[in-house]
Structure 1
Amino acid sequence: MTHLVFVDSNFCGIEGMARAQALGHQYSAVMSQELVLYHMNDETRRVLAGAERVLWIDRTTDPFQLAGALRQILAERPIDAVLSHLEYCVEALSQACVELGLRYTSAAGVRLARN
């Protein structure tokens, strides 16, 4: 069974998790305690409760914190795909994925696009 990891999110990412669940995929989430761009309502709580694991970190814009969270998930099970619907954490996430050997958007490509 496919295991997806959603890293931080907005309402589209929450909907993505709900869709993954509806399709029978397993998913985990790494969420920021500081950057919340979605409504923490009953539906969001239900979607997060359906996750294999939800890790709350201070900042998903910090590649070291992200790598640590992803390492914890990897220690429990393989990660088939990493997704993020939040632009703020894409660069940090790309760096963390390079460090851990996970497929994701190119870190060099993200830096080039930003500059």
Structure 2
Amino acid sequence: MPHHVWNCSQAGALAASVLQGDLVGQGKALSSDKIVEPKRAPLIPGMEGLKKAAIGAGAFGCTISGAGPTAVAFEFPYGSFHSRFSLSSNIDSDEDEPAQYLCLILGIM
């Protein structure tokens, strides 16, 4: 039950941050799922590393897009994060074969 309360609070925080134009708040709320992402992320090879790399490169937030296996990240200004982030570089994965990643970059202009 506490995770459901948390996720509901973050849905409200996401809505409020969108209305206020708070990009950092949007990224935090987007990245804070405690119910679905912890169960789905292990099924997507490299997702944890992708999320760490995206946030480390300056994205405000990163999470699974829909049911996966794609990811979505927030950046500002548009192009600042994407220009420093290669989807194939420095992503830790336990897989023997390199994985292909699709990450939708939501740039705010």
The normalised TM-score by structure 1 is: 0.30
Structure having the higher helix fraction is 1
The normalised TM-score by structure 2 is: 0.31
Higher relative contact order (CA 8 A, sep 6+): 1
Computing the radius of gyration from Cα coordinates, the structure with the larger value is 2
